[in-house]
Structure 1
Amino acid sequence: MDRPLVCVGALVRDGNGRVLLARTTKWRGLWGVPGGKVDWGESLLDAVARELREETGLVLRDIEYAQTQEAVLSPEFHKPSHMLLFDYFARTDRTEVTPNEEIEEWAWVTLEEAAAYPLNTYTQTLVALAQRREP
């Protein structure tokens, strides 16, 4: 029997306050944040740190829970899927991205610039949340 996939992702800020966006093979040309599936026996925090390291080469710090979303058969995703998305905010000290095969393009942008990108709807809510938290 199929079950929902537990996934993590992070909106990562650099030392200048910019955030990392990525366009991957899985969201039909839309932009989002790096992330992926949680492994059996792995905590959500360990998973988000691992996924970001695997996909971008970045080491995260100050990882903070942001929100949980549910993606049920989203037409934006490349195949039928039911995902529970645990989103985080995090920081990194480096901005040099070493992309894996899933990332087609990436950009460090301000939150305002991020909102103008063609983001998947789940990343739109994460960026909006980050904007509301800004002083």
Structure 2
Amino acid sequence: MEPRYPIPTVGALVKGPSGRVLIVKTGKWQGWWGVPGGKIEWGESLEAALQREFREEVGLELTQIRFALLLEGVFDPQFYKPMHFLFINYFAESPDETIRPNQEILEWAWVNPEEALRYPLNRITRTLLEAYLGRGAV
């Protein structure tokens, strides 16, 4: 049975040394591209959760982590099942662009931020990317 309360998650749009940003495709988003992230564990800080999710999903360490925006996803049809998420989103950097994907990551791409808009991004990631572009290069 699914929980009957919103699930807090963390994710980040990450810039590598080339100036490109990382986007990924997972099965959970039914073919839509997004950013790595996931659920926060009990007793875990937001930043620790973000670092853990990036290590687990793509093998990256993050630096320059800064809060970007908070979004809500209530039964988002792009997600594979009905869930109520609170998406706590960040901007960050990584000193490395070598991806070591886990089983969740089907594809990945380092792309120029403007180029990323041409991908079929999930709603949350599109909003995050647009906020990133609106703030200028970070």
- Please, what TM-score do these two structures have when normalized by structure 2? 0.96
Q: Equivalents in 2 of 1:110, 1:129: separation in Å?
A: 15
Q: Over aligned residues, Cα RMSD in angstroms?
A: 0.9
Superposed, 1:31-110 pairs within 5 Å as 31-110=33-112
Deviations 1:31-82 (A, max 9, x none): 0000000000011111111101100000000100000000000000001100
Give unpaired runs (5+ residues) of structure 1: none
Opposite residue 73 of structure 2, the aligned amino acid is A
Displacement of 1:17 after TM fit? 1.0
Give unpaired runs (5+ residues) of structure 2: none
Give the number of aligned pairs. 135
Displacement of 1:3 after TM fit? 1.2
Three-state SS of the structure 2 residue aligned to 1:47 is helix
Opposite residue 113 of structure 1, the aligned amino acid is E
Q: Equivalents in 1 of 2:132, 2:107: separation in Å?
A: 22
Percent of aligned pairs with the same amino acid? 50
Three-state SS of the structure 1 residue aligned to 2:11 is strand
Three-state SS of the structure 2 residue aligned to 1:59 is coil
What is aligned with 2:116?
A: 114
What is aligned with 1:131?
A: 133
* Runs of 4+ with deviation above 3 angstroms: none
Opposite residue 107 of structure 2, the aligned amino acid is E
What is aligned with 1:23?
A: 25
